[in-house]
Structure 1
Amino acid sequence: MVKTIGEVAAELGIAAHVLRHWEDVGALTVRREENGYRVYDDRAVEQARTVLKLRRVGLSLPEATAAMAPKKSAAQAIVRAKIAELEGEVIQRQEAIAFLQHTADCRHRYLDECPDCSTFVREA
C-alpha cells in the first residue's frame, strides 16, 4: 500500500516539510510517480519511522543518516559514539543533581560559607 506525504506526516505526527527535508539530505529515499508526487511504500514509511526514532533519542540528522548506513560497522560506530556522549551527559546531570540537592539542604546561609559547596565548585 502506498501513502502520500500528507498521510505519512500525519501518521508520524510531523510536518510534511520535515519529510521533504529528510529526503533532500539523503536520510530518506522516496519513490516518485510520473507526475513528481512522492509515493511512500511500506519501506519508505518504515525508514521515516526509523529516522524519527533516531532523532527522538538524540541523534542529529546527519548522525541518524549515518546510523542507517548500509555498512553495519559504520552505523555501529555512530551509535556507539552517541551512547558515549549520552553517558557523559548522564554523569554531568547526576553531578548537577548532587550539587543542587546539597545546596537545597545546606545548613549554611551562604553557599560560599559551606566547605562542601566549595568542594563542588572547585571540581571541574
Structure 2
Amino acid sequence: MRTIGEAAAELGTEPHVLRHWEQVGALSVRRDGNGYRVFDDGALEQARTVLKLRGVGLSLPEVIAAMAPVKSQAQAVVAGKIAALENEVVARQQAITFLRHTVDCRHRYLDECPDCAMFVREP
C-alpha cells in the first residue's frame, strides 16, 4: 500500500495528476478509513496503463474509453488511434520528401520550381 505521494514518485508523475485521473474516471483508487487514497498494486498497474496510453498519444477521454470493460469499445478507440497515427506518419513522410527536395532544389526560389509547386498543391 502506498500513499498518493509514494505512488506518484514511483510512477514518475505528480500527485495532482493522479488526483485528476481519478476525478475524470481514468483511475480507481480506494480510500482508507480516514479518506486518504491508498494505492495498492492494482491501482498502480492501472496508473501505469494510463501513463502508457497517454505516452502513445491517447487523450484522457480516449484512455478512459480504451480501458472500458467492453472489449469492442476499447478496440474501436485503439483502432481509431492507430489510423490517426498512420495518417500522421504518411503526412510526416510527405513533409520529409518535400523538405529534402527543397534542400536539393536547383531553383533559387521555390515558387520557380515545378516540382516544389507540385508539392505545394498536394493536400
Indicate the residue corresponding to 2:56 in structure 1.
57
Structure 2: runs of 5 or more not aligned:
none
Question: CA–CA distance in 1 between the matches of 2:21 and 2:105?
Answer: 49
Name segments (4+ residues, structure 1) moved above 2 Å.
none
Seq. identity, %: 74
Indicate the residue corresponding to 2:43 in structure 1.
44
Structure 2 SS opposite 1:108? coil
Indicate the residue corresponding to 2:4 in structure 1.
5
The two structures have a TM-score, normalised by structure 2, of 0.98
Deviations 1:89-114 (A, max 9, x none): 11100000000110011111000111
Question: CA–CA distance in 1 between the matches of 2:75 and 2:3?
Answer: 32
Question: CA–CA distance in 1 between the matches of 2:64 and 2:103?
Answer: 43
1:12 CA drift (Å)? 1.1
Matched to 1:36, the amino acid is: G
Report matched runs for 1:1-124 at 5 Å. Answer: 2-124=1-123
1:87 CA drift (Å)? 0.5
Matched to 1:32, the amino acid is: R
Deviations 1:9-57 (A, max 9, x none): 0111111000000000010000001111000010000000000000000
1:69 CA drift (Å)? 0.5
Question: CA–CA distance in 2 between the matches of 1:116 and 1:3?
Answer: 60
Matched to 1:39, the amino acid is: V
Question: CA–CA distance in 2 between the matches of 1:44 and 1:56?
Answer: 18
Matched to 1:52, the amino acid is: L
Structure 2 SS opposite 1:29? coil
Structure 1: runs of 5 or more not aligned:
none
RMSD: 0.5
Aligned length: 123
